[in-house]
Structure 1
Amino acid sequence: MSPPASDRAPAAPQLVRLTDWIPAAWRTVRTDLRLLLKGLIGLLRLRPTRLGSIGQTFAQQAARHPERPAVVCGDRRWTYAEFNAWANRCAHALQAAGVKSGDSVGVLLDNRAEVLAWVLGTVKLGAIATLLNNQQRGEVLAHSLRLSTPALVVVGEACADALHSLPPAERATLCERWWWEGETPPPDNLIWAQERLAVAPSHNPPETATIRLHQPAFHIYTSGTTGLPKASVMSHYRWHRCMSGMGVMGLRLRPDDVLYCPLPLYHNNALTVSWGAVVGAGASLVLVPKFSASRFWDDVRRYQATSFCYIGELCRYLLNQPARPNDREHRVRAMIGNGLRPEIWDAFQQRFGIGHIAEFYTASECNLAFINALGLPRTTGLCPLSYAIVRMDLDTEQPVRSGRRQHMSRVQRGEVGLLITEITTRAPLDGYTDAEATEAKVLRNVFKKGDAWFNTGDLVRHQGLHHMQFVDRLGDTFRWKGENVATTEVEGVLAHQPEVAEAVVYGVTVPGADGRAGMAALTLCDDAAPFDGAALARALYAQLPHYAVPLFLRLRDDHAVTATFKYSKVALKREGYDPTVVHDALYVLTPGGYVPMTGELWQALSAGTHRFD
């Protein structure tokens, strides 16, 4: 199916003008003043050193509205009181096993209510819920576990493949205790979590009331800008800021609202943004195992959802579905997420009749967030705290410093630059579990001596009136299918293939698709057999998440390197997979493996009519 016309022609850069801002602000204040004030008061009351926690906030909602539906998953439904009791049993079971404040508890489950129960139970103790990506396998999963050193890991029945990708001996060194969350007896002598829960009490643990907001609540894995996954730290303070700012003020849910969540709970879009908005309103969260474009609106109608969360690629998939007469027959009035591209924004909003799009910008490790609270089109919204958009050298991908003091300079309205956010007591940087990785993201002496700013690694457009628009991601990480792909992870897997001597991985744009698709420039070994595209594809699928498998290959005799012996990717990214520019052999990933690029395939890619699964 050909993409909509709006999907083929990027929209002109939009600036935010007073003539747009004032009417939007007036409509928002007039209709949602109570919620705006509630969110603002919530933000102003937050201090990192104050007592407070996610577990305490949820327990308070359960005490106020015990019979209100809290979580729905499939045909199962839990009230706030029921879910709070479940989480309490998880907390007491963990505590009886020796888990204490500051310990990490790994959660390796598919998308289901059990994730939230174990997460909530963990944070009620002051422990840290480590959300493991259930698509990781082998060495990548082992690396994630080494970063967080969990005292205990809860693994689900649906994640048995991930568990068995770790040899038993290595598994024991990564974590001594593994609990099995499932209906059937556990394999490999794992402890059956259900037996522990059956005898655990359901009252609120007293430790919950002693937690302070600055304490860590979650580990969320992100690729960062280089290397294997990093474990970013999410504090109770940042979760509550998100709840008040993005949830209450931005999305503006009410107690009778239902938020449909098709995103994985190991992402902050689901765990912090969506769940935070729901808990802040005392509303209901609907969880589904995974996103389905064909079933999405049927599900929304089935659960009578009034809102949903998204990533940009999800919206594109929905827009590419055949139009139906009942596209607007639903109760959804608002949606929250990030990555809705400007070129499809209007088409999506008009086709499905969504009144309010609460697009936001943040990152798991970022100390600030932007939210489109006023509902203006094609913007990530505004942020009341200190940030700057500074000039970049796109060849070196480094911010420009100039003058005697070597300070940075801000871009003008309408220009594109690097987004940086100031690190302050009101906006502390939680960073990663790795202190060196955190420090690598900090820019110092930016505008004055002694200041400190977080480098987001993202290019954004300054739209005026404190609004901005996301443009692109810098560095060695690119985003595809809603997931961050670390090039070094893919390069490491390629380097272990017997026929590959060297591999350079980078992201390239594909017409009609969000983010960047993976491309690998390979140098084959001198004694390698003739290139077998089908065999290489099978090997990569076995060792990488599907979204990380490169869609394009380029076979080269050698690679250009910098003076510090790093691979130079700037020219590779610029040349992409254009056969009129690239004279090396080019291959494209198909269901049968990698096949040579043909003129027909190139034309389809250029026209945006070729689709990848």
Structure 2
Amino acid sequence: MNAVPTKVGITDLLKGVATMAPDLPSMARHAPGLIFRSGDKKSTIGQIFAKLATDHPDRPFIRWHGESTSYGECNRQVNRYAAVLAERGVGVGDVVGILSKNNPTDLLVILATLKLGAVAGMLNYNQRGNVIDHSMSLLDAKVLIWDPDCKEAFDSMSASARPEHVFDFPALDETAASKSTTDPAVTATLPASTLAFYIFTSGTTGLPKASVMSHNRWLANYSGIGGLAVRLHPSDTMYVALPLYHNNALSVSLGAVLAGGACIALSEQFSASRFWDEIIENRATAFTYIGELCRYLLAQPPKATDRQHSIRVAIGNGMRPEIWDEFEERFGVGRIVEFYGASELNLAFVNVFGVKRTAGFCPLPFKVVEYNADGTAKRDSRGRLTAVPKGEAGLLISEISDRVPVDGYTDSAETEKKVIRDAFKSGDSYFNSGDLVREIGFSHITFVDRLGDTFRWKGENVATTQVESAVDSADGVSGSVAFGVEVAGCDGKAGMVAVTVDGDKPDPKAFADHLYAELPAYAVPLFVRFVGEIEVTSTFKNRKVELRKEAYSDVGDDEVWVLKGRKDGYVPFYDDYPADVAAPPPRRGRVGGAPVG
């Protein structure tokens, strides 16, 4: 097993600088954009894309199944889509809901929205029913654009949740065919403070929240991660199999592509068995990942294509330290650029200097502080926070200032819940990341764990209150407590729920069907424990901690069910089940898909 670094020294930094030497001129161009961020500056994603299209119209921008479309042609189509949206009243600050799997149209609609100064509301196509209705209510979209491949999600949406103007892709293309290919005049006038995206995150409690991302904050990814860390060249192609509603794709990957004037190759969905074949087909030299994706790839039988590709850099987060070297060596990946961030957080760490098995470096102000069991920052007798010594685990908080603002969520009250005021002195403010990290020197950290009730599974945040709401609405259930549990060999935490019933236990298959109908597949609990009672006193949270520690093995005489998948539903726990969960899917490994079966 590879050890997690406990300290970063000057030697580590010098090694990193040596590898950067060829890219130092381009890095120098991007460094000011990270350090000196101004919301008033006329710099947006649409402006950057339009300039690249003007300067390099014949350079490939999108590659799809090996076929390339140039910056110039993509820009013309973006402008046609923008004309359609503008005719429907979309302007600065309006929202366009986008429900799509990865494909070129998806990306071009996003860019069209941004060129108008509107906000791209990135809907998660795993959502169904009241959950996607809730997301639509947060967006308050003027127009909804949807991919026919997302028909199940679209059909589950209430008619009342849809805006006046709705286009599927064929209708959009037909309407756009005769429109102007000229850049919208408003694009050149937009400041960086303009809102760009609503990205859905489950946050810490309840139904999904829409985190807000301005162009200014996206530009920090563009400069800091793309320009300084990933460092793509115009001849490079970034392969993206993560959904575009995922921040790793929308901000990190697209930012790196535009920072280098490179090409983006889209895959409709992640496939462990076809991953390297698709990279070869699309002539990719870089790809983006989350930790679970890497584990799936390592679990595949070795084959010739493991090293018959041209990948020189991979960018992502969640690469487990114990597989880092094995992954690098087996697949011949030249450089792994791990980073740490969150949709709502106002900073990010990135492995600029190539220090292995770390989440990287951040030049922006942050602290690692003592914390309470509920995920809040711990205050001393004077009401102030205390930083932990370097090398010790603590709660990561980031300073909020005019230079480093917080975009937060669409709901200002939800944003305020994450803000820590008067932390070290009167009048200061910090954003609570909700995560445990260790600072290991020279502004580097290693990730430790997530705090609070939310846990991550299959690359998605799962809110326990959302799971509990779905479980509680099932026939025969009188109460539930949801939490995440560790499964050996898996990234993140698998969903488990402790349940009380009124009489007989529910039918296992019907219970599973109900949860699949109410929740995204990745949020359906893998483990169900039937308990006699659930404490609802002021010590309830402590009991939840105990349930999490007991997990699925230390349950006494309680009956435990496990999820076999949509076809079989729940079955009694069996000893090999955790190993089955840790094994990659037999054919296609979908990020955010069904955990088993």
TM-score between both structures, scaled by the size of structure 2: 0.94
- Going from structure 1 to structure 2, the CA distance change for 1:128 and 1:19 (only over 3 Å counts) comes to closer
SS at match of 2:306: coil
Indicate yes or no: 2:374 matched with 1:362.
no
What is the deviation of 1:522? 0.6
What is the deviation of 1:593? 2.0
Residue number in structure 1 paired with 2:29 = 38
Alignment of 1:109-258 (within 5 A): 109-168=100-159, 170-171=160-161, 174-182=162-170, 192-258=171-237
- Going from structure 1 to structure 2, the CA distance change for 1:601 and 1:156 (only over 3 Å counts) comes to closer
Whichever residue aligns with residue 597 of structure 1, its letter is: F
In the alignment, the residues of structure 2 paired with residue 200 and residue 121 of structure 1 have an alpha-carbon distance, to the nearest angstrom, of 13
SS at match of 2:498: strand
Encode CA deviations 1:169-204: one digit per residue, 9 max, x unaligned: x23xx422211213xxxxxxxxx2223202210100
Match among 406, 413, 416 for residue 390 of structure 2: 413
Whichever residue aligns with residue 166 of structure 2, its letter is: W
What is the deviation of 1:605? 7.5
In the alignment, the residues of structure 1 paired with residue 302 and residue 173 of structure 2 have an alpha-carbon distance, to the nearest angstrom, of 45
What is the deviation of 1:41? 3.1
Residue number in structure 1 paired with 2:73 = 82
Residue number in structure 1 paired with 2:496 = 519
Alignment of 1:56-71 (within 5 A): 56-71=47-62
Residue number in structure 2 paired with 1:590 = 564
Residue number in structure 2 paired with 1:437 = 414
Encode CA deviations 1:25-63: one digit per residue, 9 max, x unaligned: 331342321122122133345311112211111000011
What is the deviation of 1:391? 1.2
In the alignment, the residues of structure 2 paired with residue 598 and residue 129 of structure 1 have an alpha-carbon distance, to the nearest angstrom, of 45
What is the deviation of 1:601? 4.5
Residue number in structure 2 paired with 1:103 = 94
- Going from structure 1 to structure 2, the CA distance change for 1:255 and 1:244 (only over 3 Å counts) comes to same
In the alignment, the residues of structure 1 paired with residue 166 and residue 204 of structure 2 have an alpha-carbon distance, to the nearest angstrom, of 31
Whichever residue aligns with residue 499 of structure 2, its letter is: L
Match among 399, 404, 407 for residue 422 of structure 1: 399
Contact 2:296 2:584 survives alignment (8 Å): no
In the alignment, the residues of structure 1 paired with residue 488 and residue 182 of structure 2 have an alpha-carbon distance, to the nearest angstrom, of 54
- Going from structure 1 to structure 2, the CA distance change for 1:88 and 1:599 (only over 3 Å counts) comes to closer
What is the deviation of 1:349? 1.0
Contact 1:137 1:544 survives alignment (8 Å): yes
- Going from structure 1 to structure 2, the CA distance change for 1:62 and 1:45 (only over 3 Å counts) comes to farther
Residue number in structure 2 paired with 1:374 = 353
What is the deviation of 1:271? 0.8
In the alignment, the residues of structure 2 paired with residue 599 and residue 148 of structure 1 have an alpha-carbon distance, to the nearest angstrom, of 45
- Going from structure 1 to structure 2, the CA distance change for 1:105 and 1:610 (only over 3 Å counts) comes to closer
Alignment of 1:333-352 (within 5 A): 333-352=312-331
Contact 1:389 1:417 survives alignment (8 Å): yes
Indicate yes or no: 2:475 matched with 1:498.
yes
In the alignment, the residues of structure 2 paired with residue 46 and residue 492 of structure 1 have an alpha-carbon distance, to the nearest angstrom, of 42
In the alignment, the residues of structure 2 paired with residue 569 and residue 20 of structure 1 have an alpha-carbon distance, to the nearest angstrom, of 44
Contact 1:40 1:244 survives alignment (8 Å): yes
- Going from structure 1 to structure 2, the CA distance change for 1:195 and 1:392 (only over 3 Å counts) comes to same
What is the deviation of 1:16? 3.0
Residue number in structure 2 paired with 1:15 = 6
**Percent identity at matched positions?**
46
- Going from structure 1 to structure 2, the CA distance change for 1:44 and 1:471 (only over 3 Å counts) comes to closer
- Going from structure 1 to structure 2, the CA distance change for 1:208 and 1:545 (only over 3 Å counts) comes to same
Contact 1:510 1:605 survives alignment (8 Å): no
Contact 1:99 1:127 survives alignment (8 Å): yes
Residue number in structure 1 paired with 2:547 = 572
- Going from structure 1 to structure 2, the CA distance change for 1:605 and 1:418 (only over 3 Å counts) comes to farther
Encode CA deviations 1:425-484: one digit per residue, 9 max, x unaligned: 111000011010000010111111111000011111222221101111111211111111
In the alignment, the residues of structure 2 paired with residue 46 and residue 386 of structure 1 have an alpha-carbon distance, to the nearest angstrom, of 14
Residue number in structure 2 paired with 1:550 = 525
Whichever residue aligns with residue 416 of structure 2, its letter is: E
Whichever residue aligns with residue 177 of structure 2, its letter is: A
SS at match of 2:258: helix
Q: Over the residues paired in the alignment, what is the CA RMSD in angstroms?
A: 1.9
Contact 2:398 2:433 survives alignment (8 Å): yes
Match among 1, 12, 16 for residue 25 of structure 1: 16
In the alignment, the residues of structure 2 paired with residue 196 and residue 260 of structure 1 have an alpha-carbon distance, to the nearest angstrom, of 30
Unaligned residue ranges in structure 2 (runs of 5+) = 586-594
- Going from structure 1 to structure 2, the CA distance change for 1:105 and 1:567 (only over 3 Å counts) comes to farther
Encode CA deviations 1:203-252: one digit per residue, 9 max, x unaligned: 00100011110110111101111111111111011111110110010101
SS at match of 2:447: strand
Whichever residue aligns with residue 177 of structure 1, its letter is: H
Residue number in structure 2 paired with 1:189 = none
Contact 2:495 2:526 survives alignment (8 Å): yes
In the alignment, the residues of structure 2 paired with residue 436 and residue 490 of structure 1 have an alpha-carbon distance, to the nearest angstrom, of 23
The farther-off stretch of 324-333 and 558-567 is 558-567
Residue number in structure 2 paired with 1:466 = 443
TM-score between both structures, scaled by the size of structure 1: 0.92
In the alignment, the residues of structure 1 paired with residue 54 and residue 462 of structure 2 have an alpha-carbon distance, to the nearest angstrom, of 42
Whichever residue aligns with residue 595 of structure 1, its letter is: V
Whichever residue aligns with residue 253 of structure 2, its letter is: S
In the alignment, the residues of structure 2 paired with residue 157 and residue 486 of structure 1 have an alpha-carbon distance, to the nearest angstrom, of 28
In the alignment, the residues of structure 2 paired with residue 176 and residue 610 of structure 1 have an alpha-carbon distance, to the nearest angstrom, of 42
- Going from structure 1 to structure 2, the CA distance change for 1:601 and 1:145 (only over 3 Å counts) comes to closer
Unaligned residue ranges in structure 1 (runs of 5+) = 1-5, 183-191
In the alignment, the residues of structure 2 paired with residue 98 and residue 326 of structure 1 have an alpha-carbon distance, to the nearest angstrom, of 49
Indicate yes or no: 2:485 matched with 1:508.
yes
Indicate yes or no: 2:265 matched with 1:265.
no
In the alignment, the residues of structure 2 paired with residue 130 and residue 568 of structure 1 have an alpha-carbon distance, to the nearest angstrom, of 38
In the alignment, the residues of structure 2 paired with residue 463 and residue 307 of structure 1 have an alpha-carbon distance, to the nearest angstrom, of 28
Contact 1:111 1:264 survives alignment (8 Å): yes
SS at match of 1:238: helix
Contact 1:511 1:605 survives alignment (8 Å): no
Which ranges of 4 or more aligned residues in structure 1 deviate by more than 3 Å?
Answer: 564-568, 598-602, 608-612
In the alignment, the residues of structure 1 paired with residue 28 and residue 356 of structure 2 have an alpha-carbon distance, to the nearest angstrom, of 23
Match among 272, 275, 279 for residue 293 of structure 1: 272
What is the deviation of 1:397? 3.0
The farther-off stretch of 140-149 and 155-164 is 155-164
In the alignment, the residues of structure 1 paired with residue 312 and residue 129 of structure 2 have an alpha-carbon distance, to the nearest angstrom, of 42
In the alignment, the residues of structure 1 paired with residue 157 and residue 577 of structure 2 have an alpha-carbon distance, to the nearest angstrom, of 39
Whichever residue aligns with residue 64 of structure 1, its letter is: D
Encode CA deviations 1:274-304: one digit per residue, 9 max, x unaligned: 0111011110000010000000011111111
In the alignment, the residues of structure 1 paired with residue 223 and residue 458 of structure 2 have an alpha-carbon distance, to the nearest angstrom, of 29
